[in-house]
Amino acid sequence: MAQRVGGADVRVENLTAPGAEPHDLELTPRQVAGLATADLVIFQSGFQPAIDTAIPQASPKRTVDSASFLTLLAATDSDGRAGSAKDPHTWLAPSNLVTITEHVRDALIEARPAASQTFTANAAALIGELTTLDTDFRRGLATCAIRPFVTSHAAFGYLAHAYNLEQIAVRGLEPDTEPTAARIAEVQRLATANHVTTIFFETLVSPVVSESIAADLGLVTDVLDPIEGITADSRGTDYLEVMGSNLTALRKANQCS
């Protein structure tokens, strides 16, 4: 969003390297120093502990914290129950990205008023694409034979909420924790009871558990990408493309017409 809205008038540096798993991000001293000198820092509090620690220390000139204006949903814990923690995976609902884009646009205009017209036009173009994506999801998932879908970790709560689907997550919010045998058994029971066709895995996490569940139940596996980092293995080169691939995968798995 920063690159699309800022265009040639900004220099964007990612705190999370492409392809790095973002939940357990660690910052280098240089990155922490950069927070203090940047014209704008875009982040989401409650997602990456290293950022939550560094921001108050660095006190950046200007921030956009998406957790300060989005409606956060309750997280699903590793037992599949709604917990007291908030789910950080806001970006998997395109409508949230529209809202964040508006805030990024306004913050960039404040930082660089001379480029106001460019930022406004760039933001409008991106919002148009995100709105089209949201419409594609809404229409594409309106009529599905199956509403639940099985994911590797509980990243898709916002997507499920936005499009009236139901997430069954093998793991909780943290992608790297290994699920218990009891949780795997429960996922298998739910998958069978709901006539699920596909066990989804993701590009940055080992597919071994997903493959084992699928093999036990005689189901197929496929990628549902939580877009926590785009690599050469991703099904697309940016958010819009990978979300398009996610829609295709969900429509197939959930038998949507």
Residues near Zn ion, by CB under 5 A? 155
What minimum distance in Å lies between the beta carbon of 203 and Zn ion? 12
Q: Which is nearer to Zn ion, 119 or 156 (CB)?
A: 156
Q: Which is nearer to Zn ion, 35 or 173 (CB)?
A: 173
What minimum distance in Å lies between the beta carbon of 23 and Zn ion? 6
**Strand 41-43, strand 63-65: pairing:** parallel
CA separation for the pair 6, 12 (Å, rounded): 9
Q: Which residue has the closest beta carbon to Zn ion?
A: 155
Q: Which is nearer to Zn ion, 166 or 176 (CB)?
A: 176
Task: Give the CA-trace dihedral at 44, 48, 53, 56, to 10 degrees.
Answer: -10
In sequence order, the β-bridge partners of residue 171 are 153
Inter-CA distances, 206 with 52, 122, 170, 175, 178, Å: 27, 37, 12, 9, 10
**Strand 220-223, strand 166-171: pairing:** unpaired
Within 10 angstroms of residue 215's Cβ, the number of other Cβ atoms is 11
CA separation for the pair 133, 239 (Å, rounded): 10
Q: Which is nearer to Zn ion, 155 or 213 (CB)?
A: 155
What minimum distance in Å lies between the beta carbon of 89 and Zn ion? 6
What minimum distance in Å lies between the beta carbon of 155 and Zn ion? 4
What minimum distance in Å lies between the beta carbon of 48 and Zn ion? 10
Q: Which is nearer to Zn ion, 174 or 211 (CB)?
A: 174
The percent of the chain in helix, strand and coil, each rounded to the nearest 5, is 50, 15, 40
What minimum distance in Å lies between the beta carbon of 91 and Zn ion? 10
Q: Which is nearer to Zn ion, 4 or 153 (CB)?
A: 153
The SS3 of residue 56 is helix
